Amino acid sequence: MDIAGSVALVTGANRGIGRRFVEQLIERGASKVYATARRPELVDIPGVEVLAVDITDGATITAAAAAASDVTLLINNAGIATGGSLLTDDLADVRRELDTHFWGTLAMIRAFAPVIEHNGGGAILNVLSALSWFASPGAGGYSSAKAAEWNMTNAVRLELAPRGISVHGVHVGAVDTDLMADYDGPKMDPTAVARVSLDGVERNAAEIVADDWSRMVKASLAGEPEEFYARLSA
């Protein structure tokens, strides 16, 4: 897919990686970019069309699909991180993670796949995580939700291919955004994440691995989990 000339919609576009996606899309010549957020008043990027979308609210998704009926590229970026324990913290937080990353992303795909197909085909990009492939203390809900979203991405890729829609997933470790403000370690530039992701869409890469950390985690899946988690603990 060529980014130039595409009509793109980005969720969670008011900050972080989502904002950088919007900027990169404009820079690469997308003919129109819909920047969506739960609080649309926070989107301050010139030259975009702003829509209110909460991906856990089906009514806002339906309204967005009707308003953005020319979309050919959907970027599912919106996400949350509650930082709770699966065993001891409020189960409502775990449900929020799954409602956002799995059910919310799937709802966006279900709403926009017919739109993209009607417009002659296109692409969907899901922002996943290295935590799709491993678990970390304090991120049990997030990693569980991302693992579910990863395999959902694989499943809808198979279903949408005959309809002229390619589906891509990008995996990345720590990124320098508000979500990772408390993380004390190397972080990837969110602009670089957006750039690498869109490069992957253009070369039709099903799975885009954005950084060395994610490549290491992916490679570890061929080994024994106890070995990986021993290295992680060390």
Q: Is the dihedral of CA 45, 177, 30, 105 positive or negative?
A: negative
Dist CA 98 CA 146 (whole Å)? 8
Three-state secondary-structure class, residue 43: coil
Looking at residue 50, its amino acid is V
- Residues 191-199: contacts with CB within 8 Å, 24+ apart? 191/20, 191/23, 191/24, 193/17, 193/20, 194/17, 194/20, 194/21, 194/23, 194/24, 195/24, 196/170, 197/21, 197/125, 197/127, 197/168, 197/170, 198/3, 198/21, 198/24, 198/25, 198/28, 198/125
Catalytic annotation present for 146: yes
Query: Which position has the token pair 């994610």?
Result: 214
Alpha-helix residue ranges (DSSP H) falling in 28-130: 58-67, 91-98, 105-118
Question: Catalytic one among 32, 34, 142, 183?
Answer: 142
Question: Catalytic one among 146, 187, 218, 229?
Answer: 146
Dist CA 1 CA 221 (whole Å)? 30
| Residues identified as active-site | 142, 146
